[in-house]
Amino acid sequence: MAKKYQVDLLNGNIFRSLIIYALPLVGTNVLQLLFNSVDVFVLGFMVGDEAVAAVGSVGALINLVIGLFTGLAVGANVAVALCVGRGDREKSERIVGMSVIISVVAGIIIAAIGVAFGRTFLEWMSCDAAVIDLAAKYLRIYFIGMPIMMLYNFVAAILRAVGDTLRPFLFLIVAGIINLGLNVFFIAAAGMDVDGVAIATVVSQGVSAALGIIALVKQKGYGHLSAKKIRIYKAELTEILKVGIPAGLQGCIFSITNVMIQSYINGFGKDAMAGGAIASQFEGIIFQAMDGVSLSCLAFTGQNNGAGKFDRIKKVVRAGALVIVGIGVVFGAMLFGVAELLYPKLTKSAEVAAIARNRLVILLSTYFLCGLMGELSNVIRGLGKSVTAMAVTFFGSCVIRIVWLQIAVPIWYKIETVYLSYPISWIITVLMHLVIYEVLIKKIIKQAETEPTNPLTE
- Give per-residue pLDDT as tens, 106-157: 889 988 988 888 888 888 877 777 778 888 888 888 889 999 988 988 898 8
CA dist list (Å): 404 to 221, 299, 358, 419, 420? 50, 34, 19, 10, 9
Mean predicted lDDT score pLDDT of the chain:
82
Residue 356 near residue 275 (C-beta atoms within 8 A) = yes
Does the pTM surpass 0.85? The reply is: no
Mapped onto helix, strand or coil, the DSSP state of residue 6 is strand
Read off φ and ψ for residue 6, nearest 5 degrees. Answer: -100, 145
Average the pLDDT over 346-369 and give the result: 80
The secondary structure of residue 5, as a DSSP letter, is: G
The secondary structure of residue 188, as a DSSP letter, is: I
Residue 456 has pLDDT above 50, yes or no: no
Closest of 221, 223, 240 to residue 102, by C-alpha = 240
Average the pLDDT over 322-333 and give the result: 89
Q: Cα separation of 282 and 285, whole Å?
A: 5
Residue 339 near residue 356 (C-beta atoms within 8 A) = yes
Higher pLDDT, residue 374 or 243? 374
What number of CA atoms fall less than 13 Å from residue 429's CA on the CB side? 32
Per-residue pLDDT reduced to its tens digit, 207-221: 999 999 999 998 887
The reported pLDDT for the residue numbered 424 is: 92
pLDDT-based confidence at 1, cuts 50/70/90?
A: very low
CA dist list (Å): 50 to 47, 302, 340? 8, 44, 21
Mapped onto helix, strand or coil, the DSSP state of residue 164 is strand
Q: Cα separation of 216 and 102, whole Å?
A: 16
Q: Cα separation of 134 and 55, whole Å?
A: 8
- For residue 230, give the amino acid letter: I
Across 40-54, 302-316, 439-453, the highest mean pLDDT is recorded for 302-316
pLDDT-based confidence at 252, cuts 50/70/90?
A: confident
Q: Cα separation of 407 and 396, whole Å?
A: 16
- For residue 391, give the amino acid letter: A
Give percent of the chain with pLDDT exceeding 70.
90
